[in-house]
Amino acid sequence: MRRPQRWHRGFPRQDRLEEGEYGNAIRAPLGVHRKTNLRYWFHGAAPTPEAQLAYLNRLPKLTEYRLRMLIHGMSFPEVYRPVAAVSYIPISSLIAQREFKILDHVRTTRRDSRNWWARCPSCALIGRDRTGDNLSIQIKDARFYKCWAGCPKEEIRAALGRPIRMKQVA
């Protein structure tokens, strides 16, 4: 089989195959390459599909027994051995475990088109939030919340026992 003029370095390397899949090294010699629009013929036959198929039919078939005889005593190169599978934990799930969620700590009292409303924990400590709706929490992103009585986020988090960690300056 003739190789294309240039080897593409960005071609992905596979180190394992699923059942019924083809590996990277297999190219259909009678097919048309989508990028170059060229056919890749076998050198031992005329460049027509009929001659190429006749050439393939004349080749001796490799039986399983013959293949086993050819590779007997060989070992698989270490470089090509599959790497042991490592369980993947997305970073987003690790961050989500540590991320503060205000809705886990307050009970909402009502909802409008954009916000949940709840009792502000800081106001509740000093007896200021009698109606239970000083704290608004955005429905589309609960990381954004605001006390309409003026309590800063630091006081709200401290009242919940989850103070905001200050970044260390090096």
What DSSP designation does 159 have? H
Q: Whole-model pTM above 0.85?
A: no
Longest distance between any two alpha carbons in the chain, whole Å = 94
Calpha distance 135→123 (Å, rounded): 9
Q: Is 37 left (phi over 0), alpha (psi -120 to 50) or beta?
A: left
CA atoms of 147 and 72, how far apart (whole Å) = 76
Residue ranges of E strands in the chain: 108-111, 115-118, 135-138, 145-147
Give the model's pLDDT for residue 162: 86
Residues 84-134: tens digit of each pLDDT: 777 766 665 555 556 788 888 899 888 888 999 999 999 988 888 778 888
- Contacts of residue 169, Cβ cutoff 8 Å, sequence gap at least 6: none
Query: pLDDT per residue over 61-88, tens digit each?
Result: 889 999 899 989 988 888 878 777 777 6
pLDDT 10s digits, 22-41 = 555 445 566 677 777 777 78
CA–CA gap between residue 139 and residue 115 (Å, rounded): 5
